[in-house]
Amino acid sequence: MTTDIRQRLEQYRGRRVLVTGATGFTGRVLTQKLLASGARVRVIARETSKLGDLATADIEWLRGDVFDAALIRAACRDIEYIFHLAAAFREEKSTDEDFRKVHLTSTQIMASEVVGQDPFRCFVHVSTVGVHGHIEVDRADEHYRFSPGDGYQRTKLEGEQWLQRFGDENGLRYTIIRPGPIYGPGDMRLLKIFRMVKKGYLLMLGKGKGMYHLVHVDDLANTMLLAGITPAALGEIFISTGDQPISIEDMSRIIARKLGSRVRTVRLPIQPFYWAADLCALLCPPLGIQPPIYRRRVDFYTKDRKFDNSKIKKYLDYEYNYDNEQGLDETTLWYRDQGLLD
């Protein structure tokens, strides 16, 4: 953390903070920043969650499901801040109800527990820019129309809209963050792109550019934490992304340059992949098999994601530390050093 951010986050020193999703990629970074700031951290984590480097940290662990009402009641006792990052695994076999329990039910129980509770200060709720779907304008802001494309995104939207109504009607102090696609050291979701580039090619489906609007995990964690302690952020919704969108092809060129290699783009027709995804969706679930391909993965190449982050920068007085090249360079080196590109 820069000196300025470190000083601002000192406001968390001695504060009692509840984090959900702490064992995930972003949750780990946010939790480590809270601990470094001197916060007293309590975490809800599934029994199956791997604690990793957080296992020996000064954390109060409550193990179980984030939608368990009794567990949440215990977790919310005397809490001053909540960072609700928990998200259901995005698997084709998951149902809307599976997503809804994590994204909506848990939010409802937690918010109901802390509303009116003294000295509760702020509920920071994490949604996703995916609620906007494909972006058809130059840059979408927080008021852009909604078009969630799957159960994950639909229930994320349900969760944030419920919290907004409940908070406004009952005087609950809250802030909602919609992150862009998150990357940085520790991320595994974008690893497939880096591995392709290491092999010298980038597979692209269709003719689109595939615009992506990334946010580095360190910047995202900073904006979440600042949202919790900034009075102007209360009752607001923010998109958190880096300053510039980037095409998947340009991402591949930056990665290749850092690896000292060349990459060529291989384009394939996209429609056969949609047909294959539909066939897998029909045949795999009855057999209990996770489909090897599904529509959301094919959509990765067709949906553009370009956002306006000016609101969060203004309200939080924050400038993003990572541009695309810095962040992708750092992430490429981390993958290489971890032996993940071999």
Within 13 Å, how many C-alpha atoms sit on residue 323's CB side? 3
pTM: 0.93
* Whole-number Å distance between alpha carbons of 134 and 140: 10
Q: What is the mean pLDDT of each run of 10 residues along the chain (342 residues)?
A: 81 98 96 98 93 93 96 96 90 77 97 94 97 93 94 95 98 97 95 95 86 96 98 98 96 97 93 90 82 80 90 97 98 97 90
Q: What domains are defined for the chain? A: 3-184+214-243+307-321 (3.40.50.720)
Q: What is the reported pLDDT for 96?
A: 85
Q: What is the reported pLDDT for 114?
A: 97
Q: What is the reported pLDDT for 91?
A: 56
Q: What is the reported pLDDT for 90?
A: 58
Q: What is the reported pLDDT for 292?
A: 81
Q: What is the reported pLDDT for 73?
A: 96
Q: What is the reported pLDDT for 2?
A: 59
Q: What is the reported pLDDT for 297?
A: 79
